[in-house]
Chain A
Amino acid sequence: MPDLLLSGGLLLDLDTGDTTRADLLIRDGVIAQIGEISDAEGAEVVDISGKLISPGWMDMHVHFREPGQEHKETIETGARAAAWGGFTAVACMPNTTPPIATRDVVEFVLARQQSLPVAVYPIGTVSKGREGNEMAEMGDMAEGGAVAFSDDGSPVQHGGLMRRALEYARTLGAPILGHEEDLTLNADHGHMNEGAVATRLGLPGIPGLAEEAMIARDALLAEFTGGHVHVCHISTARAVDIVRRAKARGVPITAEACPHHWTLTDEAVAESGYDTHTKMHPPLRTAEDVQAIKDGLADGTIDVIATDHAPHAPFEKEVEYIEAPFGILGLETCWPLTVRELIEPGVISLHEAVRKLAVAPREILGLAVPRIAEGETAELTVFDAETRWTFEDRHIQSKSRNTPFVGSEMVGKAWGIVNRGRWVPAEA
């Protein structure tokens, strides 16, 4: 393949936020030269004047639905959405059919992503069959390439199993990614946040308490076992507080937040007239919770920005609210919602946000963070934090269309990625 010259970009220093203008010459997928490059004969030249360059971003929480639910998403279409959103890597949750609960399925996922421009790392289940009864073969899956373990969607209810899983996974150096929910506290099998809005709309509620009680348990288990608990999609103020206190005590616990949880509140369910694109798990919470997530992102309690990209086919979402599956797309709109809601208002700085996208997820999963230096493999994201644009249906790259953000004004755009030797542009 021809050499690739990225011309006129600004290298972002993730420690200081400083930028340096530099051209990048990429040869055979490796960064051959950084600096002012005028002479690159035969190279494909991409003008990225004024745009930022950082190590490629990673979304450590996506659902790519393959194997088994390919009508919602495939590894290929999911990777297309990831690349468009600026991600060079993702970790995919194991609630597939069959679940990623054995090494053969781990290897299947790895085989399916080899030729794609986005690295897809499988997450294995904690329990056999995601049934919450006994430990899955985590050792075998880790050897096969699983980077973490999670029963996302079917939270591990049994405290004893969670304890043993944390002890066991600690040996493997892999975190357990907790969908934190005590299902007995979600007795009404709720469909949105329990609170004044749910009361008004007459929808059964999911109390924040169900999430908070489980995070408290898992924080204690992490402290007791020394195993690493990573809290998925944190959504309430008290949950953020529990993680903050645990971290202060030195507990091995980390947390991620998703753009919809800091952008929308449960009022969106009412305002949309019960639009099922406002239905996800955990649900949209209150303005107070949104503020707490922002505070947690700002003070480092929340380490990671992840999307919980959860595609569902239109025919599955275009139903009565209580019949609709939980989940929305996330990859395409993650960065502009980060800029619009966090960076522009000054909640976090641009380079802190990029650290939560590019560095923190890989540190948690024990993966190398791509470096932008001569001789290194080229894995990078080209983006800006200024472009104002409207997210439209045609921008959706996923196989599904379940997002509440069509028609939303956005700020900041990913323009493309370089990974596995290829430049993948994200057209506006």
Chain B
Amino acid sequence: MTPPDVAPGTQPSDAGRLNHRHLLGLEDYSASEIRLILETARAFRGVIERPIKKVPSLRGVTCVNLFYESSTRTRLSFELAEKRLSADVVNFSASGSSVSKGETLRDTARNIEAMKIDLVVVRHRSAGAPHFLTRCVDAVIVNAGDGQHEHPTQALLDASSIARLDIPSLPNLAAFDFRGLRVAIIGDIAHSRVARSNVYALAALGAEVTLCGPRTMMPVGIERLGARVTDRLDEALEGCDVAMALRIQLERQGAGPNGLFPSLREYHDRFGLRGEHLERNPDLYVMHPGPVNWGVELAGEVAESDRAVILDQVTNGVAVRMAVLYLLAGGTAARMQEAAGG
């Protein structure tokens, strides 16, 4: 039996609108909402491949990128997405705790709101910071990564990249029907917001997800999110279509008695993707949310190989973020088609 939500060609419900006012995470986004974002992103991908990469969809809309954690690609990607939609953009970056800066997040947000901001993109080291913001201000909130909770636009861009893969046995990938697809997510699952969001998105679209990493990086009860768990890389890669390696935070190793693995060398040896894995499984695609620690999560020959689609992920990131901002700012699928010229 096919769950109706996962059936191919399902029309987005409610005439191409999201049922959410914010994007706080994908845990409670339905498959049809995720498909709507991905379909919208596909049209925007067309826009950003054009010589003139800009549409007027968000003209008059003001976005603030509120980044409490350092980030290069996510912030750039959001800013490009906003600019290509013709929104007005302001940036606020502060590393570390808002409290230590002498102004609370609540105060900062309320001040920003007093400047009449419509949309807030927030990255923060505290899980739940975007949820907290929804209680402080009226603006639409987009989660650009909160603690180790969720990073929904990363998972959406990953799904968008997967839909572009050529896997002959899975002809419906392009229609965002991921049934039959097997994805392994490898690395520090415990501290990964990318892993959590990907489990929700991929499972919603019908994929089978396996989480793989040392037991020290596997949080209690993670299987309840809807994924299989293993601590053996070979088992994770068995019959796998896409291997998604997560960035290892290097400070997890040098943490003395609280370290999660003994050395980068041993991590690479047990959980790094190496040439031998591609030789054994030549149809495997390799993804990584970036930035890559060369020789840790991915051996150089893997990161450089034509099986790695890491830069395509980055391109899709801009399109997916355009779609998210566009849909949350109130656009409908029809208006978008018009704006995208086609």
Contact = CB atoms under 8 A, between A and B. Distances in A.
A215 B150 CA distance: 35
Given A199-B221, A202-B196, A320 B129 contact: yes
Contacts of A319: 98-99, 104-106, 132
Interface residues of A, number: 23
A204 B219 CA distance: 10
Contacts of B149: 201-203
Interface stretch (B3-11, B120-128, B324-332): B120-128
A195 interface: yes
Nearest to A200: B225
Contacts of B105: 319-320, 323
Contacts of A194: 220
A322 B129 CA distance: 9
Contacts of A37: none
B228 to A, nearest CB: 15
B257 to A, nearest CB: 7
Interface of A: 184, 187, 194-205, 273-274, 315, 318-323
Interface in B54-112: 97-99, 104-106
B169 interface: no
Contacts of B2: none
A202 B127 contact: yes
Contact of A274 (B125, B127, B196): B127
Nearest to A187: B258
Contact of B98 (A196, A201, A315, A320): A320
Contacts of A320: 98, 105, 124, 126, 128-129, 132
B147 A196 contact: no
A274 B221 contact: no
B221 A195 contact: yes
Contacts of B124: 320
Nearest to B148: A202
A323 B220 contact: no
Contacts of B225: 199-200
Given A319-B99, A322-B147, A323-B97, A200 B106 contact: no
Contacts of B131: 273-274
A202 B25 CA distance: 11
A273 B25 CA distance: 12
Given A196-B224, A203-B128, 13 more contacts: A195-B220, A199-B222, A199-B225, A202-B149, A203-B149, A204-B148, A273-B134, A318-B106, A319-B132, A320-B105, A321-B126, A321-B127, A322-B125
Contacts of B150: 202
Contacts of B128: 201, 203, 273-274, 320-321
B99 A202 contact: no
A84 B93 CA distance: 46
B67 to A, nearest CB: 14
A196 B222 CA distance: 7
Contact of A318 (B97, B104, B222, B224): B104
B301 interface: no
The 8 closest A-B pairs by CB, nearest first: A196-B221, A202-B149, A274-B128, A320-B126, A202-B127, A199-B219, A322-B126, A202-B148
13 contacts: A187-B257, A196-B220, A200-B27, A200-B196, A202-B146, A202-B147, A273-B128, A274-B131, A319-B98, A320-B98, A321-B126, A323-B99, A323-B126
